[in-house]
Structure 1
């Protein structure tokens, strides 16, 4: 699927590289027992040993290879036991440990409560020691103010606003208020400001980015090869409607008051945005100059994740190159993805069967007017 979200797991500053005494079995066991996912194709040597493989767990990647005694690279069992514990965060430590033990792991310490979270310890069939932890839930953090480059508002552009309102009400449970014009709707009851805008053949999610100074942002947009209208005043701040150098419409605005960035998405809310663009290098150059975004390479080909410094953009933003026309594809969080997929199909849209991925379970969909989106269950 060329349009999959790009927040794939990645290598961090410190990463594990495991030596195992049966590489082919390990490539099956870690996905079955711990929910890992193979990243790319493993390297198989001429003698049949696994020379290198990468597996994703959560937001991280670990590597493994068969033992190489000739290089003094052997697993824990050959050395008399594990000398390192691998720390694995999971939503449900009890279930994760039980599944691993059922598939052949040795239970070293049963799951129990501890100050830092509920945890247990297992030893996998290859001798590696895993501390499986569900961290203690921290008190909710105070809402964070919008930063330059954060997404402050989105509007789903559709040809027929009435059809779109009916479709997303059936699928996501959206409710609406009238907008400022006949073609506009405001979605009620979300923690995120979301709207619908009809009469648009360019099917995309129109995004409005926070900036410190709209006038300066307009100059940066024009200097970078984009188009920007003169700023005008809206109830939520000074705003300019714009287009990047590849035809993607967007807006920049100066937030008023204590505008805050969206927090963790609830059912029916946006959890991720994928910017599909013809040329990823041009996109990165343009939005780096305009919004100060930095980009981290994803694990899908020509996929990138947008950052503000060391932090993610709010909403979470990824980008994927090689598309015929620029568009923004949202992912909506749902509590029950099977029910949501059935609702999409019943409402006249299309949906792939839910597929388990590193970031959760997702389905690629289109609504009954051809607008693309994802459903995601985390």
Structure 2
């Protein structure tokens, strides 16, 4: 029988013994906190402070936005010193240090944005880029002076991937930080200068170069035109970066051609017109850049139509080195082509300089890109002309990379050479 005079709370006076949390539980808890704080009414989480403010509130303070970067690094303590030195980042609060000494969570601010980082956790399949064989994403950092930031980052140990250069959308360069993350650093161009004219119905908003082997094509055009790439939506895709014209490579295609994507005001209406004119079109689907449908015309030429939205802009009027300056549509029957695209896109046509050649117009002005048409070909194909700064050097580069190129000839618009790459894809070079 127990002693009735004993204190029933005596057991609660035992010394408190701290218990290390289970790492998986700790990671799940951090993830729940991150998700909670990323709701529209959330704010910044640090180990010291939570700052709540309405979403979109006008403030110069750094805050979590709808999408934020969370980096895994192989030395978080070094990273917390390096990012402030290289990019002027500010460490927010105190990092969360786990019992084994690793940094479990830390936050830094750059400008008005917050990014987070933690050490590697192999037991949770969290590893930095170097452990995985390279970066799979790029971080896009806007700064007032890209030259100064890139120079400082390189002095602090970053690896220069692409030197700072001017582009229509701003002056930019690319570095890899010491932890393997890829940073695209840019000083944006003034909005008026960066934004080209709006895409009209019938303008070309995107092109995809179809090739058998995408790796060979990427290497060839990098050697000839200096193209650089980002991964596409699949292993067969590559996005060409740094051009004013959205462009990609698509492998696994035996028919070597360029597939154009035309801007339209209403993709559903465009699909109806395509089918009425004897072509084929998939049902429209929604992509990040707008609603799109894949199509073929009544002679078997592949193309797409899409609604570009408010941000859709036409390519620069004067193409830079490596950009498309002209597209030639080779088709079996030019009259059928003119009837089809006149009905679908409202194109008008004027006679060109060659037999059965035509120039495409929208309301009396050239289609963007400039488009020509020639009938009498066995199979439809689209052949691009790429602008180059020095056609003699470009021809040498084509041949050195395994392609073929005619000797440059003088045309009314400048110097030209007819070429094919090392897989037989045809193109022109033009020095205008």
TM range (shorter): 0.5 to 0.7
User: What is the CA-CA distance between 1:368 and the residue it aligns to?
Assistant: 0.5
Q: Which residue of 2 aligns with 1:274?
A: 328
3-state SS of paired residue (1:343): helix
* Equivalent residue number for residue 144 of structure 2: none
Kindly state the Cα deviation for residue 140 of structure 1 after the two structures are TM-superposed: 6.9
In structure 1, how many angstroms separate the alpha carbons of the residues matched to 2:260 and 2:210? 10
Residue 386 of structure 2 corresponds to which residue in structure 1?
Answer: 332
Match of 2:231 in 1: 178
Equivalent residue for 1:237? 290
Q: Does 1:159 align with 2:212?
A: yes
Number of the residue aligned with 1:203: 256
Deviation at 1:141, TM superposition (A): 9.8
1:225 partnered with 2:278 = yes
* CA offset digits 1:238-269 (Å, max 9, x no partner): 00000001110000000122211001200000
Which residue is equivalent to 2:300? 247
Distance 2:246 2:378 in 1: 29
Match of 2:396 in 1: 342
Shift of the alpha carbon at 1:212? Answer: 0.4
Alignment of 1:286-301 (within 5 A): 286-301=340-355
1:143-164 deviation per Cα after TM superposition (whole angstroms, max 9, x unaligned): 2100000000001000000000
Q: For residue 198 of structure 2, what is the aligned residue in structure 1? A: 145
Tell me, yes or no, if the aligned pair for 2:391 and 2:431 is still in contact at 8 Å: yes
SS of 1:330's partner is: strand
Unmatched runs of 5 consecutive residues or more in structure 1: 1-138
Question: Which digits, 9 at most, give the CA deviation of each residue in 1:115-156, with x for residues without a partner?
Answer: xxxxxxxxxxxxxxxxxxxxxxxx979621000000000010
* Structure 2 residue matching 1:340: 3-state secondary structure: helix
Bigger CA radius of gyration: 2
Correspondence 1:304 to 2:362: no
Secondary structure in structure 2 of the residue aligned to 1:199: coil
SS in structure 1 of the partner of residue 369 of structure 2: coil
User: Could you say which residue in structure 2 is the equivalent of 1:353?
Assistant: 407
1:57 aligns to what?
A: none
> What pairs with 1:1-378 in structure 2 (closer than 5 Å)?
143-263=196-316, 264-378=318-432
Contact 2:323 2:386 in 1 (8 A): yes
Structure 2 Cα separation of the partners of residues 242 and 219 of structure 1: 11
What SS does the aligned partner of 1:364 have?
Answer: strand
**Which ranges of structure 2 fall in alignment gaps of 5 or more residues?**
1-191
CA distance, structure 2, for counterparts of residue 310 and residue 257 of structure 1: 24
Alpha-carbon separation, structure 1, partners of 2:194 and 2:248: 26
Query: How many pairs are equivalent?
Result: 240
2:177 is matched with none
What is the aligned-residue RMSD (CA, Å)?
1.2
Structure showing greater relative contact order (alpha-carbon pairs closer than 8 Å, 6 or more residues apart)? 1
Q: CA contact under 8 A between 2:195 and 2:313: conserved in structure 1?
A: no
Q: Which runs of 4+ in 1 moved over 4 A?
A: 139-142
Structure 2 equivalent of residue 67 of structure 1: none
Query: For the residues of structure 2 that align with 1:301 and 1:165, how far apart are their CA atoms?
Result: 34
Distance in 1 between residues matched to 2:288 and 2:418, nearest whole Å: 35
Please give the TM-score of this superposition, normalised by the length of structure 1.
0.63
CA gap 1:255/1:141 in 2 versus in 1, 3 angstroms: closer
